[in-house]
Structure 1
Amino acid sequence: MDKIDAMQAFAAVVQEGSFSKAAERLKLSPQLVSKYVSQLESHLQTRLLNRTTRRVSTTEAGLAYFERCQQVLIDIEEMENSLGALHQQASGTLRISAPMSFGMHHLSKALVDFQKQCPLVEVDLQLTDRKVDIVEDGIDIALRIGELKSSSLIAKKIAPIRLVICASPDYLKSNGTPNNPRDLTDHCFLRYSYTDSSTSFSQFNLKASEIKFKSHFVANNGDVLVNAAVQGGGITIQPTFITGKPISKGKLTTILEEYEPAPLGLYVVYAHRHHLASKVRCFIDFISDYFGSPPYWDQY
């Protein structure tokens, strides 16, 4: 078994959602793609895909392997592309989409530093929390925060995103400090509009109906919610790339730390291309290690 061929076949099936579409993309027969995946499962001694007559889906092990597998294939492709284009200087307009708050806090310096390395690249940054269609909207690179999901796009994880539960000291003094999730009842919740209560508190193993919040303040921007928390508006769950400075200055206090949500990921996402433009490849290489491990905003 050629392990690289098998990994490419498996990744294509996950990205395309079927053996036939994967085979079409790879210019192979569906039978050969199925054979590669079966050989990979035998080699790993675990089932990676659930197959039915109508659909193909990843198992838990398959999703975990897909993330690592895709990263390996990305590294191989980037290495080959860089060797084949050492003589090409990155140029042109690079269109980047990124989340609003993350872009405002952490992309200005990063993009200035990138242009110092690639002075012929013009940057067109578009900040939105809306999930853009990369191909349809003409985006070269999207920075996205969340959990990796199967898709036809390439997603490379570049940093962990830690979430904390926090409120201002004045709010906690007036309303009490929750010691367990059930103590959240009758507190004010500052909620990000792209999530709901059941999603936000699923890590507590509680149904949304079991937490009776006194009030909700909903906004589609994390900075607004963090500022509201600093002003004593209630409890919020927000990433440390926004809350880090207020926490370090004593304006916010973390609570329920033993119930802290699982970290999300910051991904650089781009359309599947065998021959990346130099400007795209250079930005991926630049941003991959830029924020550090752990990222600098978690070193408060």
Structure 2
Amino acid sequence: MDRLAATRVFVTVVEHGSLTQAAERLDMSTAMVSRYLAALETWLGARLLHRTTRRISLTEAGQVALPGCRQLLDLAEDVKHQAGEIGRVPSGRLRITSSPSFAEAQLAPALVRFQQKHPQVVISLVVADSSVDLAAERIDLAVRITNSLDPTMIARPLALCRSVLCAAPAYLRLHGEPQTAQALQSHQCLTHAIVGAAQFRFRQRKQLVELPVADRLSTNDTGVLRRAVLDGGGIGILPTYLVGDDLKRRRLVRVLPALEPETLGIHAIFLSRQHQPLALRLLVDFLVEQFGGETPPWDR
């Protein structure tokens, strides 16, 4: 018995509710449909369908088997699709979205390196601090920094986003360096409006602690926040992917290094694993290679 064909017959019968309609859809005789169903039931050792002259319904065993059968057909189609792409040159246009700061600091250089390997791939990069509707905007891939993933999306981890509490040397010379977390409340603090205006979030003993602060300036753009901290506006929490070089060159100084700001995940988000373009699969693999590992490249 062709078990894959029998599985396809079973799923088609369920979807159309009739052996006759399934036979027409599959371009085979009703008798052949019946034989495939009988062979599948014999193989599984259970009756899958209640069949009467008027209607067809799933048995309990059929209800259990149906999701797995659909998954098997999807997997078979995906294997066929991928095998057919062997030897093909990746090409076409990919629409990608990311936050402005991560796009400028890390993603754009990585995309340039990817296109150097695959010159026939065209990329449209949409930058936005707020989440973009992937379906409505026809986005192939979203790179998002979050610990709250949409369960309807498919996500692949890329890296960890660590942050530091920091300030410009000029600010610290003028206002002094805080020695405790509570001392931050008497300092000029700069915050990210989306992550948490008027508060800093730290991880202490595996617990998330929120410290209220008087935010002198709040913005929804991480790049703007970095600029304000660099110019001596106050103390802020900034991701290391953006300020790693500033810290190395002492343009910024870590404040209260014992305090660990909340670590976030950096994820590649897409709508479906099925029938992904070759260019998209290769790009996601490339980003995992570029950013992945225990320590991302900007923290090494």
TM-score w.r.t. length of structure 2 = 0.68
Aligned to 1:264: 264
The alignment status of 1:181 with 2:181, answered yes or no, reads yes
Amino acid in the other structure paired with 1:229: V
- Contact residue 198 and residue 207 of structure 1 kept, 8 A: no
Aligned to 1:93: 93
Amino acid in the other structure paired with 2:142: A
Q: What is the CA-CA distance between 1:87 and the residue it aligns to?
A: 3.2
1:143-175 CA deviation, whole Å, 9 max, x = no partner? 111114242111111111111100112212222
Q: What is the CA-CA distance between 1:179 and the residue it aligns to?
A: 2.0
Task: List 4+ stretches of structure 1 deviating above 4 A.
Answer: 28-31, 77-84, 204-208
Larger Cα-atom Rg: 2
State the distance in 2 between where 1:143 and 1:159 align: 11
Q: Residues 261, 29 of structure 1: CA spacing in aligned structure 2 closer, same or farther, 3 A cutoff?
A: farther
Spell out the pairing of 1:127-276 with structure 2 (5 A cutoff): 127-197=127-197, 200-201=200-201, 203=203, 208=211, 211-213=212-214, 215-276=215-276
SS where residue 135 of structure 2 aligns? coil
- Contact residue 163 and residue 239 of structure 1 kept, 8 A: yes
Q: Residues 29, 275 of structure 1: CA spacing in aligned structure 2 closer, same or farther, 3 A cutoff?
A: farther
- Contact residue 199 and residue 213 of structure 2 kept, 8 A: no
Q: Residues 206, 297 of structure 1: CA spacing in aligned structure 2 closer, same or farther, 3 A cutoff?
A: closer
Q: Structure 1 or 2: larger strand share?
A: 2
State the distance in 2 between where 1:229 and 1:29 align: 63
Q: What is the CA-CA distance between 1:84 and the residue it aligns to?
A: 4.9
State the distance in 2 between where 1:154 and 1:78 align: 16
SS where residue 225 of structure 2 aligns? helix
- Contact residue 203 and residue 261 of structure 1 kept, 8 A: yes
- Contact residue 152 and residue 272 of structure 1 kept, 8 A: no
SS where residue 101 of structure 2 aligns? helix
Aligned to 1:290: 290
Spell out the pairing of 1:115-134 with structure 2 (5 A cutoff): 115-134=115-134
SS where residue 290 of structure 2 aligns? coil
Aligned to 1:32: 64
State the distance in 2 between where 1:259 and 1:93 align: 43
State the distance in 2 between where 1:198 and 1:218 align: 8
Q: What is the CA-CA distance between 1:88 and the residue it aligns to?
A: 3.0
Q: What is the CA-CA distance between 1:262 and the residue it aligns to?
A: 3.2
State the distance in 2 between where 1:216 and 1:254 align: 19
TM-score w.r.t. length of structure 1 = 0.68
1:217-256 CA deviation, whole Å, 9 max, x = no partner? 1112112211211111101001001111111111111112
SS where residue 273 of structure 1 aligns? coil
Unaligned 5+ segments in structure 2 are: 1-59, 69-76
